[in-house]
Amino acid sequence: MIKLAKLLGLGLTVLLSHAFRLHDVFLSPPPKNLEARVDSVLTLMTLEEKIGQLTLFTSDWEVTGPTMRENYKEDILAGKVGAIFNAHTAAYTRELQRMAVEETRLGIPLLFGYDVIHGYKTIFPVPLGEAASWDLGAIQQSARVAAAEASAAGLHWTFAPMVDIARDPRWGRVMEGAGEDPYLGSAIARARVEGFQGTDLTATNTILACAKHFAAYGAAQAGRDYHTVDMSERVLREVYLPPFHAALQAGARTFMTSFNELFGVPASGSSFLLRQVLRDEWGFEGFVVTDYTSINEMVDHGVVANEAEAGELAIRAGVDMDMQGAVFYQYLLDQVRNGQVSVTLVDDAVRRILRVKFELGLFEDPYRYSDEERQKATLLSPANRAASREVARKSIVLLKNEGEVLPLSTTLRRVAVIGPLADGRQELIGAWSGAGDYRDCVTLLEGIQARLPKPGTVNYVPGCSIGGADRGGFAAAVKAARQADVVVVGLGEAAQMSGEAASRSDIRLPGVQEELLQALAATGKPIVVVLMNGRPLDLSAVAPNASSILETWYLGTEAGNAIADVLFGDYNPAGKLPITFPRNVGQVPIYYGMKNTGRPFEAQDKYTSKYLDVANEPLFPFGYGLSYTTFAYSNLQVQPAVFTPDEPVSIKVRVQNTGKRAGEEVVQLYVRDRVGSVTRPVRELKGFQKVMLQPGESREVAFTLTEADVQFYTRSMRLEAEPGDFDIYVGGDSQATLQALLTLRK
C-alpha cells in the first residue's frame, strides 16, 4: 500500500484496510497536471489491467448484435474490463461501479456508454428529422436534454452523434444522421457534440460524445447495411470526412470506427483513417472505440487469417478500445509478452482512455453521475417534454399544400383520422430510442382529439396495418372519409424499418397503404397525409392522392402534440429536407450536389444523361419545404464581385414574407464553381440562415463567403481555391434560381 502511494507520488490521505483505491488518493487536491496523473496511474498497472482498460463489454440489458459474453460482472471484478455499455439507471450503474471501485486491485472507475441517439427517456425526433429543422440551437438543445437525462441515470458516454453522410435512402441508417450534405452535416455535428459535452466535461449533466462511424459507412453499396464502400480519396475528403472533422473541432472526445472497408481495408484496421487522418492530420487526442465486433469481423472481410491477427492489426492501426469483440481481452496479453505487439502501443491507448476518465471527474467521485434524486427530477420532466415538442414541430416538413387545405380549423365538424400510423404509438419513438418508452408518447390521433374535443368530431379508422396485405378495413375507412369534412391519414413505415440492419430495396410505403390512400382520395374529400418514416420515401403514388403532405419522420414522445400544432396552424411549419426524395428507387443515388457530366440533360437530345422512364429531377429536392405563408427573394448583391483570397465577400439578398401569416424561412446559399482542375458539383451549400418574418415584412439577409469556402481538393489533391468564376444562388431550396456571378482573382 505504502509502496503504491509512493509510486503515485501523492500523499495518501485515506488508507483503507482491504484494498487500495485510487479515487481516494485523488480526492484532494483536484488534478493539476492531467498527464502526470494519467501516468501515475499507468505506472501502477499490470499488463492485464491495462488490457482491461481497452476492453468494453455490454451488460446483459440490451444488445445490438450477438452477445458473446454473459459473465461481464466477473470480468469487472477481475479488472478485465474498463467500460460497460447498455447498463444504465442510477442504481445499476452505481452497483457496477462499486464492484470496479471497491473490489478491484486499483479501483479504476468504469466508463458507462449507451446509444443515446435522440433522447434518453424523453425522446426527441430521430436525427434525420431534427436535421430537417435546420435549427442548430434546437438540435443542440435536444442533445443537451439527452445528456442531462442520461448522465442522471449514470451514463458518461453516448455513442452519438452519427455524422455519416448518407445519400442512399435504401440504407436504414440514413435515419440516424443529418442527411446528404457535408456543410449542413458539419454544422449539425458541431451542434450535437456541443449539446452532449457542453463546455465542461466535469459537469455532472454533460456526457462524452462519440463521432461515428469513422468513416464513410453511409456509402454502403446499394444501400445494403455493412456492405462494401469504395470511393475516391477526393470524395472521401470533400464529402464524407468534413462532419467528422467538425465534430472533432467541436471537442468530441471519442470516435467510433465503422464496419465497412475503405480502399480495401476495414476501418478498424485502417491506419490511414485512424493514424494518418485522425491523429496526424487532425491532432485527435481522445480515444477510438470500435463498432461492436468489427475487429473480429476483419477475419470475414478477408484481410487477416484469424482474430489474433485482427487484434494486432487493430491496435497498430490506432484502435484504443475493443467493443464487445473480446479480441484484445483474449490475445493482447500474449502478443505483448512475446514481443509481437509493443507495450508502447498499449500504454498509448490506456493513456487516452484514462485521460478521458479523469476529464469526466470519475477519479474524484466515480459515483457522481449515478444520482437517483436527479434521475427522478430530470427524466421525462415537463420541461424536457416541452423541449421535445418544440424540436418536434420544427422538424416537420410541409411537402405539399394544394388549395391550402392546411392549416385546419378547430371549428371543423367531422374529421376522419385514418391509417396504420394514425394511432401507432409504438412507432413514434423510432429506432435507437434509448430508454424511451413508447407508452409515454402522444399519438397523432390524441393530438387531434385534444384540439377537437367535442364528442363525435373525430372518427378514427385504421384502414390497414403497416406492412400487411389485408384490405378488409378499407370499406370502413372510406365510409368514414365520405362522412368527413377533411381526412387526415397517418401513413409510413414501422420504426424498425430504419436504423441498423434495416435496409430496404423498395422505398415506397409498405403493405397496402398506397391502395388505401387511393381509395380515400377517390371520395374527393380533402386528404392530408401525415408521414412517419425514417428515410426518404418514393412518394410518387402518394403525392397525386393527397392535397397536403406533412413529413413528420418519427417525432418522439410529443409527436402527436407537435403534429397537431402544425395541422391546426399554431405553428407554421418551416422544416426543409436534409436529403433528396427521389421519384423512384431507380434514381438512387440522387443528391443535389451531383456533377454536370459531359452530356447534361437536354430534352430534345436523346444522347444526353437521362432515363427513358423517369425524369432526372427528384420529387422533392434537398432544402425543400413549404410554409403556410410564401416568401419572395430579390435584389441579390455580391460585393465585391471580383475578390482576392484575403478578401471576404458579402452576399446580400432581400427576403419578403408575401403571405398572410408570420413564418420562418431557411434562406440557403449555394455556390457553383464553373471551371476547376477537376469537375465540381453543380451546386454546393455554403451557408444558411433561418429568419422569422411577419406578413409583408421584408429583410436583408447577409452571408459572408471567403476563399476557404470555395476550396476543394484540386487535381494535385491539394486543398485550395482556384481562380475563376462562381455562380451564387440564393433561395429556399437547392433549386433556387436567383443567381449572381462572383470571380476569384489570385
Taking CB positions, which residue lies at the least distance from ligand NOJ?
159
Shortest Cβ distance from residue 84 to ligand NOJ (Å)? 12
Residues 427-446 that bind ligand NOJ (CB under 6 A): none
- Alpha-carbon distance of 8 to 16, in angstroms, equals 16
State the DSSP code for 275.
I
Residue 230 in grid coordinates: 469504395
**CB of residue 292 vs ligand NOJ: minimum separation in angstroms?**
4
- Give the shortest CB-379-to-ligand NOJ separation in angstroms: 21
**Nearest 10 degrees: Cα torsion 613, 619, 622, 623:** 150
Taking the C-alpha atoms of residue 123 and residue 557, their distance in angstroms, rounded to an integer, is 5
The nearest distance, CB 450 to ligand NOJ, in angstroms, is 36
Report the chain's terminal Cα–Cα distance, integer Å.
Answer: 68
Within residues 337-356, the interface with ligand NOJ by CB under 6 A covers none
Letters for 26-65 (x = contact with ligand NOJ by CB under 6 A, - = none) are --------------------------------------x-
CA 289/CA 258 separation, integer angstroms: 10
Nearer Cβ to ligand NOJ (64/743): 64
3-state helix, strand, coil in the chain (%, to 5): 35, 20, 50
Question: If binding means CB under 6 A, how many residues of this protein chain bind ligand NOJ?
Answer: 7
Check: CB of residue 328 under 8 Å from CB of residue 300: no
309/500 with CB nearer ligand NOJ: 500
Number of Cβ atoms within 10 Å of the Cβ of 612: 5
Nearer to ligand NOJ, 292 or 688 (CB): 292
171 contacts 223 by C-beta, under 8 angstroms: yes
202: Cα separation from own chain's centroid: 24
- Work out how close the CB of 212 gets to ligand NOJ at its nearest, in angstroms, rounded to a whole number: 6
User: Directed axis angle between helix 182-197 and helix 242-249, to 10°?
Assistant: 30
Q: Identify the sign of the CA torsion 193, 239, 183, 497.
A: negative
Cβ nearer to ligand NOJ, comparing 159 with 713: 159
Three cell numbers, residue 431: 429506432
> Which amino acid is it at 268?
S
474, 551, 480, 572: which is closest to 509 by C-alpha?
551
Look-up: residue for cell 484496421? 269
CB of 565 to ligand NOJ, least distance (A): 31
CB 291 to ligand NOJ: min, Å: 5
Kindly state the smallest distance separating residue 495's Cβ from ligand NOJ, in Å.
16
Q: Is there binding between residue 255 and ligand NOJ (CB under 6 A)?
A: no
CA–CA dist 369, 381 (Å, integer): 18
CA separation for the pair 377, 372 (Å, rounded): 9
Q: In the stretch 63-102, what mask flags binding to ligand NOJ with x, by CB under 6 A?
A: -x--------------------------------------
- Choice between 291 and 558, CB closer to ligand NOJ: 291
Question: Which residue is catalytic, options 291, 320, 322, 709?
Answer: 291
Site for ligand NOJ in 535-564 (CB under 6 A): none
Contact with ligand NOJ (CB under 6 A) among 20, 72, 159, 255: 159
Say how far apart CA 213 and CA 266 lie, in whole Å. Answer: 12
Contact 538, 583 (CB under 8 A): yes
E strand map for 608-716 = 631-639, 642-643, 649-657, 663-673, 684-693, 698-705, 712-713
DSSP assignment letter at 620:
B
- Do 164 and 117 form a contact (C-beta atoms < 8 A)? no
Least Cβ distance, residue 438 to ligand NOJ (angstroms): 19
Q: Which is nearer to ligand NOJ, 145 or 175 (CB)?
A: 175
Give the E-state strand segments of 473-578 in sequence order. 486-492, 527-532, 548-551
User: Quick one: 160 or 528, whose CB is closer to ligand NOJ?
Assistant: 160
Residue/partner pairs of 372-377 with CB below 8 Å, 24 or more apart: 372/90, 372/91, 374/90, 374/152, 374/204, 375/89, 375/90, 375/152, 375/153, 377/152
Query: According to the binding rule CB under 6 A, does residue 292 interact with ligand NOJ?
Result: yes
| Binder of ligand NOJ out of 149, 291, 359, 565 (CB under 6 A) | 291
The residue (of 116 and 489) whose beta carbon lies closer to ligand NOJ is 116
Nearer to ligand NOJ, 177 or 593 (CB): 177
Query: What Rg do the C-alpha atoms of the chain give, in angstroms?
Result: 27
Residues in contact with ligand NOJ, shown as a per-residue x/- string from 103 to 142 under the rule CB under 6 A: ------------x---------------------------
Q: Which of 49, 164, 309, 500 binds ligand NOJ (CB under 6 A)?
A: 500
CA atoms within 13 A on the CB side of 611: 13
The beta-carbon contacts of 454-457 under 8 Å, at least 24 apart in sequence, are 456/414, 457/412, 457/413, 457/414, 457/415
Nearest approach in angstroms of CB 613 to ligand NOJ is 36
677 binds ligand NOJ (CB under 6 A): no
Q: How far is the CB of 259 from ligand NOJ (least distance, A)?
A: 7
DSSP 174-206: GGGS--S-HHHHHHHHHHHHHHHH-S-TTSTT-
The yes-or-no answer on residue 115 being catalytic is no
Nearer to ligand NOJ, 63 or 235 (CB): 63
Instruction: Check the CA dihedral 371-376-380-382 and report its sign.
Output: negative
Closest approach, Cβ 237 to ligand NOJ, in A, equals 23
Interaction residues for ligand NOJ, span 194-233 (CB under 6 A)? 212
Closer residue to ligand NOJ (CB): 64 or 330: 64
Which helix H or strand E contains 249, and what residues bound it? helix 242-249
Active site residues: 291
Q: By CB under 6 A, name the binding residues for ligand NOJ.
A: 64, 115, 159, 212, 291-292, 500
